[in-house]
Amino acid sequence: DIVMTQSPDSLAVSLGERATINCKSSQSLLYSSNTNNHLAWYQQKPGQPPKLLIYWASTRESGVPDRFRGSGSGTDFTLTISSVQAEDVAIYYCQHYYNTPPAFGQGTRVEIK
């Protein structure tokens, strides 16, 4: 099974500052047949289900603000929030969907400093 590891576990950033969350997979998520990385990012706020932010490692879901950016390839991926807003306080998860079973990282909590 592919294991997903996020870092850091939590981070505190000032309003308007950049937040960077890393996600590492135990094997490559790049499918040679379609040159896509099978990696998604979700945001979860208290009492809510996860919300899809990014898929195929860098494609923003419709309606997601452009301050959220996904990057990376192979085994190393990054979610960047370019200018953190108060409403971005949440836990962020990466998820691979390269094969079965899919798996999530342990989550990264983003707080305001």
The minimum distance between CB 83 and other proteins, in angstroms, equals 25
Is 72 a residue that touches other proteins (CB under 8 A)? no
> For residues 16 and 46, which CB has a smaller minimum distance to other proteins in the complex?
46
Q: Which of 22, 61, 67, 73 binds other proteins (CB under 8 A)?
A: 61
Cα–Cα distance between 89 and 35 in angstroms, integer? 33
Per DSSP, the three-state class of 87 is helix
Is 40 a residue that touches other proteins (CB under 8 A)? yes
